[in-house]
Structure 1
Amino acid sequence: MKLRVSAVQYHLHTIQTFDDFANQVEHYVKTAEEFGSEFVLFPEFVTTQLMSIGDQQGRALSIQDLPDFTEQYRSLFSRLARETNMHIIGGTHVLRKGDRLYNVAHLFYPDGRVAEQPKLHITPTEVKEWNMSPGEGLQVFETAKGTIAVLTCYDIEFPEIVRMAKAKGADVIFCPSCTDDRHGFYRVRYTSHARAVENQVYVVLTGTVGSLPTVDFMRANFGQAAIITPNDIPFPPRGILAEGEINDDMVITADLDLSLLYQVRESGSVTTWRDRRTDLYPDWK
């Protein structure tokens, strides 16, 4: 089984209306469609760009206002997934449930279904500045091209949760991310490589670029998309199928061959998934 994936280095800049956001999103989706992609990944907090629209006094909207765009966000990405016959991981969008805010990744199927995976590990900034709450429970998603998981940014830094995703059958981990400096970016990038090696899976990673000068905590972005493989003979030596130019507005694309994963799990130079010592440390629950 092979699948073609694209990852969007989404350029954040000030906009005036939701239509501005929709036109930019559609541009990236149509670009991925022209490349023949079957999956396209947008970054974490992609809808924070909507906060730059501002209120009647010209002040940026707050994180509390983002859930008000949920219906428009879902309608936009659902339409594009149906029209292009692609699976779209629409980055993350902030949802309100009761009196709590959640950072939730959305998977839009070509047939109109919408699946959600809330971010499970919340950074100190998200807690302190935006009062975000962690999600509960990991899901994997069945698609016509295999089983995938969507783990957001900080989640990829925790090996246990990716091991759970692999044990549940995921062969590809999509990781929407948003980091504001090199330190945060490389934490996510390096741990994505580690998770690919440990679990013999593909990791598709992307982040935001550009800036939102009027939106607190989104003024700086440092991002680069990458399509990451295990480090073994069938794959590139550095474990990178494709990567973007740092902080550029662009889309990257590559083909994932799932049969190569099955091959290295069975008879690779190392067989890290098969050789885990569950007699010494507990496996996932």
Structure 2
Amino acid sequence: MKFRVGAVQYKLADIQHFEQFAHQVTHYVRNATEYGVQMLLFPEFMTTQLLSIVDEHGQAMSINQLPSFTTSYIQLFKKLAADYNMHIIGGTHVIKMEDGSLRNGAHYFTPEGEVHVQHKIHLTPTEVDEWSMSAGDGVNVYDTPFGKIAMLTCYDIEFPEIVRIARAKGADVIFCPSCTDDRHGFHRVRYCCHARTIENQIYIVTTGTVGALRNVDFMRANYGQAAILAPNDIPFPPAGIISEGVINDDMLVVGDLDLSLLQEVRERGSVTTWRDRRTDLYTDWT
């Protein structure tokens, strides 16, 4: 099974109305279509751009107001997935749960109109202390025409156990939307993505926000780069990088994934890390 993936280095800039956000998102989807992308990834917290829409007093909105855009966000991405016959992971969007709590949810839209949500499992101090968000409590694996995938957001990828669970459930590709504000955070996520590909012999597609929201607290700086990553073994590029973007540029990154190569390295690779794990000493989940 081969298929083409894309990852958007989404440029955050202040906007005045939702239509500007929709226009920017549509541009990236159209661009991906021109390159034959079948599954497209947007970054974490991309919808915080909507918070830059100021009120009559010139004040930006707070994180508690972001869920008010949920219906419009879902309608936009459902239409784009259907119109362009593309599987789209629309980054993450903050949603309000029935109990009133906020969660950071990665949303997967299919051309058939399905919407799947994976809540972020591990939260950063900013998400907890400043935005009072709550964590998800499970790992979902989704069947797609291109095999099984999972969505693990940013900080999630820094925990090896959670990726083991996704792989044990059959995921061959992890999509990792991210949002980091400086080089330290970016490299934490990036290095962990590489480690997870080696440990689990999987592909990881990751991307982050770039640009700045000058009126939105905690989104005033972004440091991001998209990458399509593979295990470090002979069938793949030596550094495990199928494709990567230019750091902090507004751009689309495209690459092809061949699932048969994953099976090959799991069975006959230079190392067989997935097969050789010691489940007699440690389990894939509890």
Which amino acid in structure 2 is aligned with residue 10 of structure 1?
A: Y
Say what the alpha-carbon RMSD is for the aligned residues. 0.6
Deviation at 1:284, TM superposition (A): 1.9
Specify the alignment match of 1:131 in structure 2: 132
> In 1, Cα distance between the equivalents of 2:33 and 2:115?
19
Q: Superposition pairs for residues 241-280 of structure 1, below 5 Å?
A: 241-280=242-281
Deviation at 1:107, TM superposition (A): 0.1
Over residues 176-205 of structure 1, what are the superposed CA-to-partner deviations in whole Å (9 max), with x where a residue is unaligned?
000000000000000000000000000000
Deviation at 1:68, TM superposition (A): 0.2
Specify the alignment match of 2:159 in structure 1: 158
> In 2, Cα distance between the equivalents of 1:177 and 1:282?
27
Moved over 6 A (4+): none
Is 1:211 the equivalent of 2:212? yes
Which amino acid in structure 1 is aligned with residue 14 of structure 2?
A: T
> In 2, Cα distance between the equivalents of 1:283 and 1:93?
29
Partner secondary structure for residue 221 of structure 2: coil
Over residues 159-181 of structure 1, what are the superposed CA-to-partner deviations in whole Å (9 max), with x where a residue is unaligned?
00000000000000000000000
Specify the alignment match of 1:197 in structure 2: 198
> In 2, Cα distance between the equivalents of 1:106 and 1:87?
11
| Structure 1, unaligned runs of 5 or more | none
Over residues 50-102 of structure 1, what are the superposed CA-to-partner deviations in whole Å (9 max), with x where a residue is unaligned?
00011121100000000000000000000000011110000000001122000
Which amino acid in structure 1 is aligned with residue 263 of structure 2?
A: Y
Specify the alignment match of 1:52 in structure 2: 52
> In 1, Cα distance between the equivalents of 2:100 and 2:149?
30
Partner secondary structure for residue 192 of structure 2: helix
> In 2, Cα distance between the equivalents of 1:144 and 1:244?
26
Which amino acid in structure 2 is aligned with residue 114 of structure 1?
A: V
Partner secondary structure for residue 254 of structure 2: strand
> In 1, Cα distance between the equivalents of 2:283 and 2:116?
30
Specify the alignment match of 1:168 in structure 2: 169
> In 2, Cα distance between the equivalents of 1:3 and 1:283?
28
Specify the alignment match of 1:13 in structure 2: 13
Query: Is the CA contact (8 Å cut-off) linking 2:168 and 2:284 kept in structure 1?
Result: no
> In 2, Cα distance between the equivalents of 1:61 and 1:216?
10
Deviation at 1:283, TM superposition (A): 2.7
Specify the alignment match of 2:22 in structure 1: 22
Specify the alignment match of 1:94 in structure 2: 94
Taking only the aligned residue pairs, the percentage that are identical comes to: 67
TM-score of the pair, normalised by structure 1: 0.99
TM-score of the pair, normalised by structure 2: 0.99
> In 1, Cα distance between the equivalents of 2:222 and 2:164?
29
| Structure 2, unaligned runs of 5 or more | none
Specify the alignment match of 1:118 in structure 2: 119
